[in-house]
């Protein structure tokens, strides 16, 4: 396997509510924590920088010049830098863009930054969000918002494959178990879940109850990507990128060609092919989980189980701590916290920690040589799969 890039340093803010910070201040908090955790780094170590827009979907406005402001504050003059956005898919694509830039010699390291916000429900941002995440002219008038849009995927999956609400609930139960092993997980203090607890939580949009939904919060993270040639200078055991796939299939849910097989089938096939591996070689998966249906569809599309069997894949604790195949080892968006679009980088941070062997405590997997990360942006409309591993 040929490494395309190497992750050598990661850090993540504790998810929560940070009303005292605007978009740029969230970035400063992320960076300050990153520099505290990796004190040997100097401005000369960073020759590329990628950021997402600052203050996305927040009332104080979105700043698409985040990359130049952050670079200036860091005291760096990168030879590769931009602010990019593909929703939750942004950070997997940053890793892709960083690896291509490094391969072409534009730079030899890229700092990837995210700081996400999620507006409070009913905070007056709901209409704006609705127009952003669905077609502003042809979908918004029907009362579209995020949970019912994903519920359309879920109802269709239940119809085509007989997936049950108990199986959906099992995803939430399994991920809560993982979150209990993460010191920063937002929902860990709430304790364990049961299928009954999920099924008896208040209904949001059929088939989702409250506990089928991720927890809106705020946070952010940093990932330092370097050329595989210099990776060992920074980390004893770097996390290498071996393959990736990217696909953008639609924007409005009513225009999706399919609700149960998504762009993820193509992106995962491409990522495995590039890495020269298959789904059977994976030791774990991190699957973007705004709602309980998502990991079920991704487990299928990524070939971790046959199409239609995603519900059964999560049943009986198979994906929970101690199970056969660990999924979302940090608790996922549903129990760690959904830090806006930056949740797409949380998954990369966790995959890197597992592969680098620094996840800590009981959460650290005994075998984490190869893992797959799948992120999406929008309403499961933009897709990226990453194959990450420890062996250069």
Partner 1 sequence: MSNVPVNPKPVPEINAHSKPYWDGAQRGELMIQRCRGTGKAFTYARCWSPYDFSPDPAWEKASGRGTVFSYTIVYQPPYAAFKADCPFVMAIIQLDEGPQMMSNILHCDPESVRIGMKVKLCFETRSGGFKIPQFEPA
Residues that bind partner 1 (CB under 8 A): 122, 126-127, 130, 134-145, 147-148, 151-156, 159, 202-207, 252-255, 259
Whether the CB-CB separation of 324 and 389 falls below 8 Å is answered with no
**H or E element at residue 124:** none
To partner 1, the closest distance from the beta carbon of 300 in angstroms equals 17
**Toward partner 1, which CB reaches closer, 164 or 364?**
164
To partner 1, the closest distance from the beta carbon of 208 in angstroms equals 8
Token pair 């042809």 in the structure block, residue: 138
Residues 6+ apart with CB under 8 A from 383: 89, 245, 246, 247, 248, 249, 262, 263, 264, 266, 267, 374, 375, 376, 377
**Toward partner 1, which CB reaches closer, 38 or 145?**
145
Residue 86 structure tokens: 């593909």
To partner 1, the closest distance from the beta carbon of 128 in angstroms equals 10
Alpha carbons 300 and 186: distance in angstroms, whole number: 28
Whether the CB-CB separation of 134 and 256 falls below 8 Å is answered with no
**Toward partner 1, which CB reaches closer, 83 or 167?**
167
Whether the CB-CB separation of 248 and 382 falls below 8 Å is answered with yes
**Toward partner 1, which CB reaches closer, 213 or 359?**
213
Coil, strand or helix: which one is 290? coil
**Toward partner 1, which CB reaches closer, 207 or 326?**
207
Classify residue 194 as left (phi > 0), alpha (psi -120 to 50) or beta.
beta
* Cα separations in angstroms, 287 against 46, 273, 290, 342: 29, 19, 10, 14
**Toward partner 1, which CB reaches closer, 149 or 373?**
149
**Toward partner 1, which CB reaches closer, 49 or 213?**
213
**Toward partner 1, which CB reaches closer, 159 or 192?**
159
To partner 1, the closest distance from the beta carbon of 353 in angstroms equals 35
Residue 327 is given by DSSP the state B
Residues 6+ apart with CB under 8 A from 251: 135, 378, 379, 381
**Toward partner 1, which CB reaches closer, 30 or 154?**
154
To partner 1, the closest distance from the beta carbon of 138 in angstroms equals 4
To partner 1, the closest distance from the beta carbon of 119 in angstroms equals 11
Backbone angles phi, psi at 233, to 5 degrees: -65, -30
Residue 382 is given by DSSP the state E
CA-nearest of 247, 151, 161, 160 to 203 is 151
To partner 1, the closest distance from the beta carbon of 152 in angstroms equals 4
To partner 1, the closest distance from the beta carbon of 328 in angstroms equals 24
To partner 1, the closest distance from the beta carbon of 251 in angstroms equals 11
């Amino acid at each position: 396997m040929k490494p395309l890039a190497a992750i050598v340093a990661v850090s993540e803010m504790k998810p929560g509510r940070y009303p005292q910070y605007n978009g740029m201040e969230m970035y400063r908090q992320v960076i300050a924590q990153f520099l505290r955790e990796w004190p040997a780094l100097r401005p000369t170590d960073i020759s590329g920088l990628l950021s997402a827009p600052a203050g996305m979907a927040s009332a104080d406005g979105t700043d698409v010049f985040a990359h130049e402001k952050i670079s200036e504050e860091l005291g760096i003059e990168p030879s590769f830098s931009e602010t990019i956005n593909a929703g939750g898919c942004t950070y997997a694509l940053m890793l892709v863009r960083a690896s291509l830039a490094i391969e072409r010699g534009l730079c030899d390291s890229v700092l990837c930054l995210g700081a996400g916000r999620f507006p409070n429900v009913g905070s007056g941002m709901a209409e704006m969000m609705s127009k952003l995440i669905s077609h502003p002219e042809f979908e918004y008038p029907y009362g579209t918002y995020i949970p019912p849009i994903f519920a359309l995927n879920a109802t269709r999956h239940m119809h085509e494959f007989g997936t049950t609400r108990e199986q959906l609930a099992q995803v939430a139960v399994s991920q809560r178990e993982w979150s209990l092993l993460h010191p920063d997980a937002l929902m860990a203090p709430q304790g364990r879940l049961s299928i009954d607890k999920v099924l008896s939580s208040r209904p949001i949009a059929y088939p989702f109850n409250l506990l089928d939904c991720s927890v809106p919060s705020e946070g952010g993270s940093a990932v330092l990507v370097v050329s595989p040639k210099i990776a060992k200078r920074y980390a004893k055991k770097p996390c290498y990128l071996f393959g990736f796939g990217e696909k953008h299939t639609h924007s409005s849910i009513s225009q999706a060609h399919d609700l149960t097989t998504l762009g993820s089938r193509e992106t995962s096939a491409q990522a495995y092919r590039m890495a020269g591996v298959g789904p059977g070689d994976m030791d774990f998966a991190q699957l973007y989980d705004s709602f309980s249906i998502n990991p079920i569809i991704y487990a299928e599309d990524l070939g971790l189980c046959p199409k239609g069997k995603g519900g059964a894949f999560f049943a009986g604790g198979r994906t929970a701590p101690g199970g056969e195949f660990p999924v979302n080892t940090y608790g996922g968006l549903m129990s760690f916290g959904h830090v806006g679009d930056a949740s797409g980088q949380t998954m990369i941070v966790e995959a890197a920690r597992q592969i680098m062997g620094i996840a800590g405590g009981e959460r650290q997997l005994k075998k984490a040589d190869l893992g797959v990360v799948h992120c999406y942006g929008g309403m499961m409309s933009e897709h990226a799969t990453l194959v990450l591993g420890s062996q250069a």
